[in-house]
Amino acid sequence: MSYNEIEGSVTAPKCFFAAGVSAGIKRSGNEDIALIYSESEGNVAGVFTTNKSCASSVTIDKEIIEEGKAQAIIINSGNANACTGKRGYKDSKEMINLTAKKLGLDVDKVLVASTGIIGKFLPMNKVKRGISEAFDNLSDEGGPLAAQAIMTTDTYAKEKAFEFEIAGKNVRIGGIAKGSGMIEPNMATMLGFLTTDLAIESGLLKEALTEAVNQSFNRITVDGDQSTNDMVIILGNGEAGNEIIKEKNNDYYKFLEVLKELTRWLAHQIVRDGEGATKFVEVEIKGAKSLEEAHKGARKIANSSLVKTALFGEDPNWGRIVAAIGSAGVDFDLDNLEIEINGVKLLAREQQVTQEIKEDLLASKDINIVVNLNNGDYSDRVWTCDLSYKYVEINGEYHT
């Protein structure tokens, strides 16, 4: 199907507004409070971190989303408000209450998210001022500032929007995301906020989001560490005017295709902006006995510090890839293993191939690793980055 890229990210769909302001939570003084608002109540779906040490924002949003309706999201960066006990829970609730009051909404129609340092209490006086200022600055052009306000160690904002047609109606979908470190598959992997003016039942919206996330955000890893606060939320207000989608028909799959493209693009940007990253890496496993084994193998290679440092050093050390796949718990015969990097075969069924290896094989910023187990019909892929000196520097200096 055809769809066009447009400007506006989360404010591209009809009747959506956003803001990003600086409340002084971040030492840098950059934007740290974001607000996303729909003029009309809509359906909502979310996918959340599986980390048991999850923040209060995750717990609260899960409860709200069970009802399937929402109208606004308030987000702060610079402080995760995680592992902060009863006070942290109370502060998350207060963020919701303050936002709902400003917007004239019921409290169960406002979601909350936080990201940043774990284990510190929110500076609520600053947060309160930030929420008030965000309300005053709501705009249908506020998407870029909201994208900046959710950033932590990110080096650039991640935002995108598309327009497509459903049953003769122009439909829009947009999204923003943040993430650079503490990125590991198993939903979630970061913060992501999506908006659409499509009319679709909440149950189908949840199914579409889950499938899209599983093929995008759950296929990326930067460092193998899973955060406490991560979530992906989508709001759909139905303002496009299409007949509401109630079943998995052609209209549903058109929407799903564009949603997958949006989430995949945002996910790739997170990997490209991985802390200290110099290379974008796709790891593909072919010939596995099952999809589960294919994913397990790709994920093991993508998370291998030895593989990732070799990529940073531009050393095509296929032995590290063999070691990683051998410890992944997947079934294969070493005699049948094949490995390619950027189209150059380095291992062909227990025979090292050296004559075609060039010194600059890994000089490219985009690296493609293909491992064929030759043991079945299933394949899967994971996206990751290299591991550089800069990653250690960034996280060594990331203090409370």
Identified catalytic residue from 152, 189, 263, 384: 189
What is the widest separation between alpha-carbon atoms in the chain?
Answer: 70
Contacts of 118 (CB under 8 A, 6+ apart): 80, 82, 83, 228
SS (H, E, C) 352-387: ECCCCCCCCCCCCCEEEEEEECCCCCEEEEEEEECC
What is the rounded distance in angstroms from the CA atom of residue 386 to the CA atom of residue 368?
A: 12
Cα(89)–Cα(312) distance, integer angstroms: 41
Helices (H), 137-280: 143-149, 202-214, 250-272
**How big is the CA angle at 294 (ends 290 and 300), to the nearest 5 degrees?**
140
Which residue(s) pair with 112 in the sheet?
A: 74
The H-assigned helical ranges of 273-359 are 291-302, 305-312, 318-326
Annotated active-site residue 59? The verdict is no
Tell me which residues are annotated as active site. 189
